Structure 1
């Protein structure tokens, strides 16, 4: 530590105590007509294309995924942040979240999971494995179809925790280097 200065970092023991922003792309996970915001997700394999999402065991969505073994991930542009936030406050076993979202359904997949019209892109996912860890289950899924909106936004929705949403301010495109 530098002399006569406050420490640069505050240290916390739990995520609930910490106040940091960790921007991550968010999506609406749809299992049947139930919508749940998710930002704890990531691609885990390119071939086959597999995706992992972490869902808290106490969530109604967890029960639905275990029963249906499938879901869609609807990646919405940042303009829908208030709707996504509302979906996180409602309980799917009590509320019709799809109706309250005011989002239009483009179609449904073969498992009857909704494909939302406002999405920039959608992954249709079929669960192939699960891993329970802590208070979440990680559902690993094969992405069986990818739907890309021709009018895809350049403002993906980012979630930073505690009700904070944003989008990218500037993007950069680099050319791929050729390997000798």
Structure 2
């Protein structure tokens, strides 16, 4: 760093203190009829297709996942960000989040988890492993079915933290590299 110049980066000790944008695709996790916004999730295996979600132990959804060992991940388009945000502010053990959401149920999976009509796509998941780490439990699940809405919005909902939502402005398809 040059003399008399401000540092480019500020350093923080915790995630709560940091002010950075951390965009992640957001979904509504449904365990039975309870809905929880989920942005801490990711694929962990392609074959078999496995998906992981991290849920705080203090959340009502955590107890439901431990009991029922299954869930659906409903990936709603950006247009539903206000509903998803509201679902994070309601306690499922006190209020019926599904009713409050106003979302239409397309059906239920074989484990009685809801499939939401507004979703661009839905993963049906059956928990096969758990891993406790810090204040979250990671639920690793086999994805048994993938439901794809033929009329996808192509506007995924991204959560950036601190109540901020966004979507992608442009998408680009990079051609696959040909092997010579």
Aligned to 1:89: 89
Unaligned ranges ≥5, structure 2: none
Distance in 1 between the 2:101 and 2:65 partners?
20
Give structure 1 regions of 4+ aligned residues with deviation exceeding 2 angstroms: none
Unaligned ranges ≥5, structure 1: none
Deviation at 1:176, TM superposition (A): 1.0
SS in structure 2 of the partner of residue 89 of structure 1: coil
Deviation at 1:155, TM superposition (A): 0.6
C-alpha deviations, 1:106-147, integer Å up to 9, x for none? 000011100000000000000000000000000000000000
TM-score, normalised by the number of residues in structure 1? 0.99
Q: Report 1:30-109 matches (<5 A).
A: 30-109=30-109
Q: Report 1:5-24 matches (<5 A).
A: 5-24=5-24
SS in structure 2 of the partner of residue 72 of structure 1: strand
Moved more, 2-11 or 89-98: 2-11
Distance in 2 between the 1:54 and 1:67 partners?
16
Deviation at 1:2, TM superposition (A): 2.3
SS in structure 1 of the partner of residue 88 of structure 2: helix
Paired positions, count: 180
CA RMSD, aligned part only? 0.6
